[in-house]
Chain A
Amino acid sequence: MTALIEIDGLTKRFGGFTAVDNVSFNVARGEVLGFLGPNGAGKSTTMRMLAGFMTPSAGTARICGHDVQRDSLAARRALGFLPEGAPTYPDMTVEGFLHFVAAVRGYRGGEAADRVAHAIRLTTLAGVRLQPVETLSKGFKRRVGLAQSMLHDPPVLVLDEPTDGLDPNQKHEVRRLIERMAPDKAIVISTHILEEVDAVCTRAIVIARGRIVADATPKELEKRHPSGKLDDVFRLLTVPNKDAA
C-alpha cells in the first residue's frame, strides 16, 4: 500500500497547553482526506508540523517516506503546501511570485515559464497575471496560493482551507481541480465547510481539542447521527457536552 503521508503519534504542546495530542493517520495515493474540526482544534498546527514548519513535541511525520524533520528538504520537494490564509508577497505580481516559487523549486528558463503558465491555467489566473497580489480580491489571492502549491506537480498536497473566501463558482472550480488531480496524489484539505467533505473527500478525519474523534468515509460519518446530516454528526463529535445532540 502506498501511503504517501504517514503521521505517527504527532503531538504539539505550547507551554502547558496541548494543541495536538498523539495524532496518527496515513494517507494513500488517490485519497482526498478532509480534515475537519472547530476553530482551534489543532488542524493548522497538525498541517504545519506535516509541512515541516513547526517542530513536533513528539511523534513523526513522513512525506513519501522522508521524515519531515530529519530529511526535511526531500520531504518539502515532494510537498505542495498552502498555508493558512494563503500568504503571498503583496508587492509582487502574480506572475513574478510564481516565477520566484518556480526558481526556488529548481526550474529554469523555458521549463519555469511552462510551469508558471500551467499553474496559471489550472487556477484560471490569466486575467490578473500582471497585477500585484495586494490589488487582488480574497478569492484571487487564495488561487495564487493554490497555484504556488501545485506548480511543481507534487505527489502530496496539503491545503489549509483552500476554498475559504471563494464565491460558490470559484469553490466549484477548486473542487473540480482537486478531483482531477486526486487519482495520482495524496491530498489533505482542512475545512469547516461540511458540504465540501461530501463533494470532494474520499475520507474524513474529525479532530477536536487536539485529538482525532472520527476517521471514516463521509457516508459512514453521516450514519453516526439519526438525522444523517454531517452538520449534526459534527456537533455530536466536537461539542464537549453531549447535551447538544
Chain B
Amino acid sequence: MRNIIAIADRELAAYFATPVATVFIVIFLVMQGTLTFNLGNFFERGQADLNPFFTFIPWVFLLLIPAITMRLWAEERRLGTIELLLTLPITQGEAVLGKFLAAWLFCGIALTLTFPFVITVNVLGQPDNGVIACGYLGSFLIAGAFLSVGSAMSALTRNQVIAFVLAVAVCFLFTVASYPLVTEFLSKNTPVLAEIARRLAVIDRFQAFARGVISARDVVYFATFIGFWLFVNTVLVEQRKAD
C-alpha cells in the first residue's frame, strides 16, 4: 500500500509540475461549458437539472482521458525510467495501480472543478441534488473505466500518439456498443453478439447513474471493467517492459 501511495504521489505531482494539469483542466471546463450551455440548451430547456452536462461528459472524456493516459507507460519506456521503476522493490501491480489511482484522482479534481454548474442550477431552480450527485458518481466511474483502458494501451507502445489513438478507439467501441446502429447490425447477423455488446457497453450503465439510479450491478460492472483492464495493463507491462 505504501508503495502504491509513493507511486501515485509522484505521478500526481508530475501532472502539476508540467502544464499538463492546467491545460487539461482548462480545456475540459471550456468544452463541458460550451457543450452544456450551447449545444445542450441548458437555459432554453427551462429545467432545473444537469442532464445536458451529463449527456456530453462521456464524449468529452472519450477525447481527453486518452490524452492523460497516453504518457503513463509510453513515456516511461521512451525515457528508460521504466528500467529504474521496475527494478525498485515494488511489484508491477503496485506500479500499475499507483499510476491509475493518480490519474483517477486527477480526473476527480477536474470533475470537482465543475461545481459552478451545480451552483448555477441551484440558483436558477430546485434541482434534485441526489440525482446530480449520482450523475457525478457515474462520471467518476466512467472516467475510471476509460483511464484503465488508456493505461493498458499505453503499456503496449513507446509511442504516445499510438497510445492515444488506440485508447480513443477502444473506449469508443465500448461507448457505442449499445447504440442501435451497432446492435441492429449485430442482431441481424449474429444475435448472440448483439446481446453481449449491449451488456458490455459503458454508456447504458452511465446513463442509469445520470438518471439517478445506482444499482449494484452497474457498480460491479464498472469495478470489473476497471479490474480487467488493469490486469491486462499489468500483463502487458510484464511482457513488454524490456522491449
Answer whether A90 and B87 are a contact pair too, CB < 8 Å, given A100-B10, A106-B2.
no
Please tell me if the beta carbons of A53 and B83 are within 8 angstroms of each other in the complex: yes
Please tell me if the beta carbons of A79 and B7 are within 8 angstroms of each other in the complex: no
Please tell me if the beta carbons of A104 and B89 are within 8 angstroms of each other in the complex: yes
Expressed in whole angstroms, the minimum distance between the Cβ of A124 and any Cβ of chain B is 21
Please tell me if the beta carbons of B14 and A76 are within 8 angstroms of each other in the complex: no
Expressed in whole angstroms, the minimum distance between the Cβ of B47 and any Cβ of chain A is 45
8 Å CB contact of B6 from A77, A89, A104: A104
Q: Which residues of A contact B91 (CB under 8 A)?
A: 73
How far, in angstroms, from A75 to B89 measured CA to CA in the complex? 8
8 Å CB contact of A148 from B6, B80, B84: B84
Expressed in whole angstroms, the minimum distance between the Cβ of B128 and any Cβ of chain A is 43
8 Å CB contact of A51 from B7, B17, B87: B87
Q: Which residues of A contact B18 (CB under 8 A)?
A: 91
- DSSP majority for the A interface? loop
Interface string of A83-121 (1 = CB under 8 A from B): 111011111100010001101111000000000000000
How far, in angstroms, from A52 to B18 measured CA to CA in the complex? 31
Q: Say which size band chain B's interface belongs to.
A: 20 to 34
How far, in angstroms, from A130 to B78 measured CA to CA in the complex? 25
How far, in angstroms, from A208 to B74 measured CA to CA in the complex? 32
- DSSP majority for the B interface? helix
Q: Which residues of B contact A100 (CB under 8 A)?
A: 6, 9-10
Expressed in whole angstroms, the minimum distance between the Cβ of B86 and any Cβ of chain A is 6
How far, in angstroms, from A103 to B85 measured CA to CA in the complex? 12
Answer whether A87 and B88 are a contact pair too, CB < 8 Å, given A92-B14, A103-B9.
no
Answer whether A84 and B6 are a contact pair too, CB < 8 Å, given A53-B87, A53-B242, A105-B89.
no
Per the CB 8 Å criterion, the residue count for chain A at the interface is 29
Please tell me if the beta carbons of A88 and B88 are within 8 angstroms of each other in the complex: no
Interface string of A43-77 (1 = CB under 8 A from B): 00000100111110000000000000000010011
Please tell me if the beta carbons of A54 and B242 are within 8 angstroms of each other in the complex: yes
Q: Is B181 at the interface (CB under 8 A from chain A)?
A: no
Q: Which residues of B contact A77 (CB under 8 A)?
A: 89
Q: Which residues of A contact B89 (CB under 8 A)?
A: 73, 76-77, 104-106
Please tell me if the beta carbons of B13 and A96 are within 8 angstroms of each other in the complex: yes
Please tell me if the beta carbons of B6 and A103 are within 8 angstroms of each other in the complex: yes
Please tell me if the beta carbons of B241 and A53 are within 8 angstroms of each other in the complex: yes
Give the interface of A toward B (CB within 8 A). 48, 51-55, 73, 76-77, 79, 81, 83-85, 87-92, 96, 100-101, 103-106, 132, 148
